Amino acid sequence: MSFEFRSLTPLACVVGVADVFKYCSPTRRSFLSGRLPPHIGGGDNSASATVDLRMHTIADKLNSAGYQSHMSGKWHAGHDVVAQTPHGRGFNTSLGYFNGACDHYTQKDSEDGCGTVTDLWNTDRPGVGLNGTYGDYLYAGRAVETIENHNPSVPLFYYLALQCAHDPMEAPDRFTSMFDGSTCPSVVEYAFSSVIDEAVKNVTEALKSRGMWENTLFVLSSDNGGPAFSDQHAASNYPLRGGKYTLFEGGLRVTAFVSGGVLPAAMRGVNIPAPVHVCDWYAVCFILNSTFACRECQPHCSTADV
């Protein structure tokens, strides 16, 4: 376990059975909509996969309660029309890439079938002049910048979808140099973990420096099991069987925990045995917000019981 995670987890509530979809886009759409994957396009993982525009996203709902909503990182939840982009789905600002993967340094990809293009979008326009920096430096940096410029008296929702640990297998030298290739099964995979750790550290320190940590619910989750069967072949989900792209638990059960100042003291250091699906976080945000009736977000939601 990395340094920042070691400092957070003793004060965190670990979600022992955290369930998601077996790969990227359906998990993200499920989180954004509060619905299980079959109700938001099923297993569609294409560039056109999206949340139905008739549905309210978590950002839409929180904005209606007076929040400011922002995001950065990987979107992968639709961009055929502007209304499907993060800004169109309720986020006041965003910085990130639309597709499932892109070069970590150049932000270039070819998933849309239009040749190799720069996939970087800044709220309501292309991120001209912003590409060329390691992606998670950009995305975590935007999160820190947003927190530092935010009025603490206004509720804030921030969705940070880091690019690591996703292919292509590219990590900064200052992280790869931390590991010995002769003893480390995958230097880049380990470096990815260190990139994530530093991003978490920078975000939590920014919240604390602004006096916002004590009012924060901090949720960390992966979007699928480790990719044990792809070009990122270093993953191990032991003792669970399978990995990303499979319907075994190794593909569907992930690491997740909750921290932050609003977490009750009695829940710190606790491991929740009950299953929690990624779509449940949609309702959790409203259950904790007195603006909403407990079951206003989804009439048949059982998250309050969890």
Please give the positions annotated as active site: 24, 76
Contact present, 77 and 51 (Cβ < 8 Å): yes
Distance CA(37)–CA(284), nearest Å, equals 18
Contact present, 188 and 220 (Cβ < 8 Å): no
Contact present, 37 and 29 (Cβ < 8 Å): yes
Distance CA(47)–CA(199), nearest Å, equals 27
- Locate 242 and state its tokens: 């399978």
- Locate 184 and state its tokens: 């480390």
Name residues whose C-beta falls within 8 Å of residue 280's C-beta, 6 or more positions apart in sequence. Answer: 34, 301, 303, 306
Distance CA(176)–CA(169), nearest Å, equals 11
Pick from 261, 236, 240, 239: nearest CA to 252: 240
Supply the angle between the helices 24-33 and 280-287 in degrees, to the nearest 10.
Answer: 30
Pick from 73, 64, 60: nearest CA to 28: 73
Pick from 21, 58, 17: nearest CA to 38: 21
